[in-house]
Structure 1
Amino acid sequence: MNDHRPAPAEAASASPAVSSSARRSAEKAAEEAAEVRRFWGRLGLPGLIDVHTHFMPERLLNKVWEYFDARGPLTGGLAWPISYRQQEAERAAVLRRFGVRAFTAMLYPHKPGMARWLNDWAAGFARRTPDCLHTATLFPEPGVETYVREAIEAGARVFKAHVQVGAYDPAGELLRPAWGVLAEARVPVVIHCGSGPAPGKHTGPGPIARVLARHPRLRLIVAHLGMPEYEDFLGLAERYREIRLDTTMAFTDFTEALTPYPRRALPRLAALGDRVLLGSDFPNIPYPYLHQLRALERLDLGEEWLRAVCHDNAAELFGPV
């Protein structure tokens, strides 16, 4: 009989290597957590609020990771290693070690019939994860107004919309009543509507401008600062008081190499300092979490701006966390 199990001596010699690797990984994680805490501690903050983190059913998240691994079209064909490929409980624990006081469960459907199921899952996740802002989603389909109302009544505090992945027109008639419900309820919507990392048929500022013309009080949080149409989305934020921008992946080395933020626009971003929110895309980022924070810091827009972006703006928008 062929027995491929290692001999006792071989097993003993392999064990220290495994333990050493695990120990180095744990030490590296502890060092990063300490650095993240030092970052917000220096600013005099009680912690961070991250409005753009991804939690979703594990099977679905694994599919998302497989898509990144395969360099699917919506990634722009980029190499995109996932830095925090861990189980749900450990990912939440990582954020807590960083001192993230509140985070979100950004989840999104790519076809009809998914949104209500995802909202049911997200409600359960919020119940077992008190530091997660109860998140919901939507898709242009019959009944969307009904399940958006139901999610709000169940306690949803933020919605996620993904125009690129969903490949839909946000200004289409099917979503019109749902936007009205959200505007009336004043529930924010984090929306990926910019054309990065790969454009879609309905991405860009045009469709969102049409939505806002109908619903000027809708609280949209434009993900990724609207990458790569940064200045167009700045213009919408300057025009509509309820528009906000999240920093997800912006100014990092990864993004700056592809779609750099125009330095001429930084004064405009600074002037909107009360409506810029920290987002990270955790865990689906190809670099350490700390890098996003340092990327914001090196803009040199001042500690007051950093405090507002990393905590205070979100605390004001969402209330007690």
Structure 2
Amino acid sequence: MTTPGPRTDADVPGYVRGLGLPGLADVHVHFLPEPMLRKVWAYFDRAERNYGLPWPIHYRTDEADRLRRLRALGLHAIPALSYAHKPGMARWLNDWAADFAGRVPGGLHCATFYPEPDVTDVVRDALRRGARLFKVHVQVGRFAPDDPRLGDAWSLLEAAGVPVVIHAGSAPLAGEHTGTAPVRRLLADHPRLTLVIAHLGMPEYDGFADLVEAYPNVHLDTTMAGTDFSDRFAPLPRRYVDRLAGLGHRVALGSDFPNIPYPYAHQLAALARLDLGDGWMRDVLWHTGARLLRLPG
């Protein structure tokens, strides 16, 4: 049995309580320095040209309002995911993210990295300062996850057991290094990495699920999956949905807040309508993410 998902954001807290959960553990939330966030939003404003369909930002508000909305939804920890897409960005983004975690109650200390000469030191420093979640985006960054310059950095992350959200799927845009093959090569060298494949790896759903089944610390996040928006270009095949039924303990909630073209509640409703049962929803909405983020309770 699957409880119908919430229709509006105001319904989310009651829906979560009805499942017997203490809140939501969302591993895919973005907060950025304001100048960078404005550039990201300007990019999405051109989405019809870039992606072939409009992408209106639903939560185009100031930081204080976005934090208020996430707390009202029930997030116990608020990630501030960013991703470097050229040399020299990672250090100052990590400095900003460390400050965010220090000044925002419930803010989760996040970090990023990029294949450049000092990448090992960048990752080592972020871990030393307490980073609990990393993010990389191989399509935007235009680098291979198994780039030799990243080898020692990945070894540090593998040893620390700190999760890395990696956007490696080929949707909504493919890149030279997207798809399962580069990630498979990475895992061959670092088989105990704690990776979280963003967007369920869309559209290479089955290929990334194969990696979840082959490697003990590989997970998926649900970001945008099954929504009316994503179903227009990367629908979930029914046979894949059936496969997801057995992977709930390795699937974590992701939303892409605030850069989504629909209310947050729609992501939860989209997952509920997969009809995989309330137990599966509990794992996805709380248990898996809480374990990855090391949340109390």
TM-score if structure 2 supplies the norm length?
0.95
Amino acid at match of 1:230: Y
* Counterpart mapping for 1:12-161 below 5 A: 32-71=8-47, 75-161=50-136
Which whole-Å CA distance do the structure 2 matches of 1:133 and 1:72 have between them?
Answer: 33
With a CA cutoff of 8 Å and minimum separation of 6, indicate the structure with the bigger relative contact order.
2
- After TM superposition, give the deviation of residue 71 of structure 1 in Å: 1.9
Of 208, 214, 218, the match for 1:243: 218
* Counterpart mapping for 1:192-231 below 5 A: 192-231=167-206
Amino acid at match of 1:40: V
Secondary structure of 2:191's counterpart equals: coil
Identity of aligned residues (%): 57
- After TM superposition, give the deviation of residue 219 of structure 1 in Å: 0.4
Contact 1:193 1:203 in 2 (8 A): yes
Which whole-Å CA distance do the structure 1 matches of 2:113 and 2:290 have between them?
Answer: 24
Which whole-Å CA distance do the structure 2 matches of 1:315 and 1:94 have between them?
Answer: 20
Which whole-Å CA distance do the structure 1 matches of 2:55 and 2:109 have between them?
Answer: 28
Partner deviation per Cα, 1:35-84 (whole Å, 9 max, x = no partner): 011221110111111110110101100000000001277x5232100000
4+ residue runs over 3 A deviation:
none
Q: Which has the larger radius of gyration?
A: 1
Which whole-Å CA distance do the structure 1 matches of 2:160 and 2:260 have between them?
Answer: 32
TM-score if structure 1 supplies the norm length?
0.88
Contact 2:168 2:197 in 1 (8 A): yes
Secondary structure of 1:210's counterpart equals: helix
Secondary structure of 1:299's counterpart equals: coil
Which residue number in structure 2 is paired with residue 300 of structure 1?
Answer: 275
Which whole-Å CA distance do the structure 2 matches of 1:292 and 1:72 have between them?
Answer: 22
Secondary structure of 2:220's counterpart equals: strand
Contact 1:52 1:103 in 2 (8 A): no
- Bigger mean CA offset, 140-149 vs 102-111: 102-111
Contact 2:13 2:74 in 1 (8 A): yes
Which whole-Å CA distance do the structure 1 matches of 2:105 and 2:201 have between them?
Answer: 29
- After TM superposition, give the deviation of residue 287 of structure 1 in Å: 0.5
5+ residue gaps in structure 2?
1-6
Of 163, 166, 169, the match for 2:138: 163
- After TM superposition, give the deviation of residue 110 of structure 1 in Å: 1.3
Which whole-Å CA distance do the structure 1 matches of 2:294 and 2:42 have between them?
Answer: 36
Contact 2:9 2:263 in 1 (8 A): no
